[in-house]
Amino acid sequence: MIDTLRLSLSDYEVTRQNRLTVQPSPYNAETGQRVSDRLLWHSLTDPRPVFGVKAYCNSERFNLTIRPVGKSYGRGPVGCGCYVQLSVPKFHSGSNVKPVNRAEAGAAMQQLEQELADAGVKINISRAIVTRLDCLRDLVTCEPYSSYQPLFDLLSARRMQERNYGTTYYWQNSQQTFCVYDKRQELMLSGTNCGDLPANLLRIEHRLETGRRVKAVLGLCTVSELLKSYGDLPGHYRQALRENIFRQDIETVKAKAASQLEAVLETFKATERRYWLEHFLIAVSIQGVAASIGLEGFKAMLSRHLDRGNVWRIMRKLERLRFKAETARRQSSGKPLADLYRELRSKALAA
């Protein structure tokens, strides 16, 4: 249910023996004066003050940073903050595909406290403040991710900007983010073996980006409170999706889809003259070909039946029409967008 977790560590102490790397301040070459030197830490076990821009200890399991900030928590050095970020499932089992339950999340936090101590940073993990929390659900969908992309163009979240990066779609502001992406594709790009995963694995995340937002949405502040209310997280996740990206009814989605496609049709009618309908139908149809075998695969298929000149002319025409029909470019599954919306909403909001 949870993935990325960022904590502000309160009551921390850096020991004399540590694995932190200190980034020193830049300095003026002429005078030797340091530009942004700040006190990073000093402690009872190591009274020598350490100065610099920041200090960090990064590994495959977590990223730790100590840096000057406007505020500090607990009894840490005034003007400095200590932060750690990790993927809880990956920290626990080596993969962020398998979800962790409350007991496993608690065990991961205790192990994190020990590993930080081994790195030279002593903390009380239960009092650490949650400043980012990602809740998620993996959906096994009926269609590939590309089939749902035109649907995402129709959806909107309250007071959020929308961004489309091909295999990832965001609705976000400075406080929270909703993110949907092709999880299998992400794992394949990272070199992970996906042989035992479903062919169509879509992940929807709700990211609470600040401690204030975590408090407002979940009513918790510390790791101790997070573990205590761990069972409430699925309900908060479903409520957030229901109030934002799945707040529209089916009829509204149908109307938007029809309006969107008709706008593309009107564009072709205004610019393609007597062959506008033929070109419109070709542009919409080529999306199914592109999604199933790709345009390069289609080009290779044509090359087995036509000469090079004809293939070149056809592909040039298809590319022009495909880009012109941008908002209709992914009608690949043959299913109405309202049906795709109904499927995603049902699976994402299931108890």
Look at residues 108, 127, 146 and tell me which one is the last residue of a structural domain: 127
111 and 12 assigned to the same domain? yes
pLDDT surpasses 50 at 104: yes
My answer on whether 120 and 140 are in the same domain is no
Whole-model pTM: value is: 0.77
Q: Which of 189, 214, 247 is the last residue of a domain?
A: 247
Same domain as 242, residue 290? no
pLDDT tens digits along 147-187: 888 788 888 888 899 888 878 999 999 999 999 999 998 99
Residue reference for tokens 């000057």: 68
Residues 77 and 144 in one domain: no
Question: Domain for residue 276, yes or no?
Answer: yes
Q: What is the pLDDT of residue 230?
A: 97
Residue 256 counted as domain residue: yes
Pair (56, 90) in one structural domain:
yes
Contact 295, 318 (CB under 8 A): yes
Question: Residue 213 falls within a domain, yes or no?
Answer: yes
| Average pLDDT for 32-52 | 81
Q: What pLDDT score does 61 carry?
A: 95
What are the φ/ψ torsions at residue 44 (nearest 5 degrees)?
Answer: -65, -35
The pLDDT of residue 47 is: 72
Same domain, 29 and 92: yes
Reply yes or no on whether the pLDDT at 237 is more than 60.
yes
Q: How many domains does the chain have?
A: 3
Q: Do 240 and 260 share a structural domain?
A: no
In the prediction, which pLDDT does 292 show? 64
Q: Which residue has the higher pLDDT, 237 or 158?
A: 237
* Phi/psi at 82 (5° precision): -120, 125
Is 333 domain-assigned? yes
- Partner residues linked to 80 by β-bridges: 68
For position 72, what pLDDT does the model report?
Answer: 41
d(CA 4, CA 267): 43
Whether 142 and 227 map to the same domain: the answer is yes
Dihedral (Cα; 16, 108, 84, 238), 10-degree rounding: -170
> Do 19 and 67 fall within a single domain?
yes
So what's the pLDDT on residue 159?
85
88 and 5 housed in the same domain: yes
Model pLDDT for residues 316-328, shown as the tens digit of each residue: 878 777 666 654 4
- Gyration radius of the chain's alpha carbons: 26
pLDDT for res 70: 61
- On whether residue 346 sits in a domain, the answer given is no
> H-type helices in the chain, by residue range?
88-93, 102-118, 145-154, 183-189, 211-218, 223-228, 233-243, 250-271, 276-292, 294-303, 308-324, 337-348
Instruction: Provide the pLDDT for residue 88.
Output: 97
Q: What band does 334 get if pLDDT is binned at 50, 70 and 90?
A: low
- Residue of 58, 60, 72 lying closest to 8 (CA atoms): 72
The pLDDT of 299-305, averaged and rounded, is 87
Q: Is residue 350 part of a domain?
A: no
Same domain? For 1 and 122 the reply is yes
**So what's the pLDDT on residue 202?**
96
Q: Region 133-152: what's the mean pLDDT? A: 91
Contact 108, 116 (CB under 8 A): no
pLDDT at 132: 97
Q: Is 201 a residue whose pLDDT tops 60? A: yes
In a domain, 342, yes or no: no
Q: Quick one: 174 and 110 in the same domain?
A: no
Whole domain around residue 268: which residue ranges? 250-337
Is the distance from CB of 121 to CB of 77 less than 8 angstroms? no
Task: Give the side-chain half-sphere CA count within 13 A for 88.
Answer: 28
Please tell me the least confidently modeled range out of 126-130, 140-144, 150-154, 210-214: 150-154
Residue that is last in its domain, among 212, 247, 282: 247
Q: What is the pLDDT of residues 269-293, one digit of tens each?
A: 777 777 778 777 777 677 667 666 7
Mean pLDDT of the chain: 86
- For residue 324, the model assigns a pLDDT of 61
| Residue 345 domain flag | no
